[in-house]
Structure 1
């Protein structure tokens, strides 16, 4: 299944307020450009929120993009400003690994690519909560458009080819959460499967 909407209580106005506060704190916790530069055109950057424990005091690139093995994950200090984001984590009755805000600038695009092994059938799940988005943003998985709206929680199979186009005038910002698939999450994903 390429994608599914998962029931979750998201107060979008509160979430947007937290993101605006983080944007104001940019100097203390900088956003970092996505490291896979050949996979996108334009500006695509990340603000790490949760990372492997061994990288809590490391450079944000390691916090946001580490490929090292590890099973101990920890919230970064920036989450002290984000009680609603933490409440979203608390609604997930599965182990939460990495979390970050991902911003795709107006006019930018993420080229078709795969994140191998990142899908429910491999025991890993990537979840998205659109925070700032518009009808001009197209998020495609296996050539199917995910009908994401602000404040919704979505799973998508990142092991399948996916791409994103921001043809709008404003940046798109999503909360992105990587989780371990357990029975609870598997059932939520299967229940929320969407077919177009």
Structure 2
């Protein structure tokens, strides 16, 4: 059954996700990750208990402080490679190619793991959208067919080998009901140029999203965000 905010986005047929035309070998990225996985100090995403149930772990290739365990977004500043980038020669080449091709600067870049049988709850990242000059790209590495994602009403299940943009300023969630972890490389870019293969379509979609965001976000806040805050206030969770 659709949530109220999903119902609105479906009624108006809003689009939230797009595949990016960019060539790379995801096998090499995953191989680098697997080789050094035991050396990585993955940490819980900072919003434990609010946005997720304890199964969301991240480690940074680019962060605001240059530290791999610094995963929070505190300022809108440029980021720098972290100490673990030395283990990811090919992955770093892919990142630098992205920055050159789309003439942009890096923001946070991190591996994001959602453990089996765990969830990322409904939430929104208000500035993770081209509306504010930001683009959040997902590069899937490990997926399973029982891990389902939603951006408002739009259900998606991206496969390894592709690179995808999502407008995460809208409510989104992930449920991993499979027996395998889900692993993505999340690449946040600042002011990318010519990111979309059909910029005219994206511009029309963006205009439509901005129009109905004025309805969707208040509904999300009233039916989900504010009640959750009240529950946490009285249960101290």
Give the TM interval when normalised to the shorter protein. 0.7 to 0.9
Measured in 2, the distance between the counterparts of 1:147 and 1:84 equals 25
Residues 150-192 of structure 1: CA deviation (Å, up to 9, x unaligned)? 121010001011111111101111000111133322x347489
Partner residue of 2:96?
90
Residues 105-158 of structure 1: CA deviation (Å, up to 9, x unaligned)? 000111111001211111111100010111111111112112400121010001
Please give the secondary structure, in 2, of the residue aligned with 1:47: strand
Measured in 1, the distance between the counterparts of 2:128 and 2:198 equals 14
2:180 aligned with 1:173: no
Larger radius of gyration: 2
2:21 aligned with 1:7: yes
Q: Which has the higher helix share?
A: 2
2:23 aligned with 1:21: no
Partner residue of 2:63?
51
Q: Structure 2: which 5+ runs fail to align?
A: 1-14, 206-237
2:165 aligned with 1:155: yes
Aligned residues: 184
Please give the secondary structure, in 1, of the residue aligned with 2:108: strand
Q: Which has the higher strand share?
A: 1
- TM-score (normalizing by structure 2): 0.72
Q: Structure 1: which 5+ runs fail to align?
A: none
2:68 aligned with 1:68: no
Question: Contact 1:101–1:173 at 8 Å: present in 2 too?
Answer: yes
Runs of 4+ residues deviating >3 angstroms: 187-193
Partner residue of 1:40?
52
Measured in 1, the distance between the counterparts of 2:76 and 2:30 equals 32
Partner residue of 1:128?
138
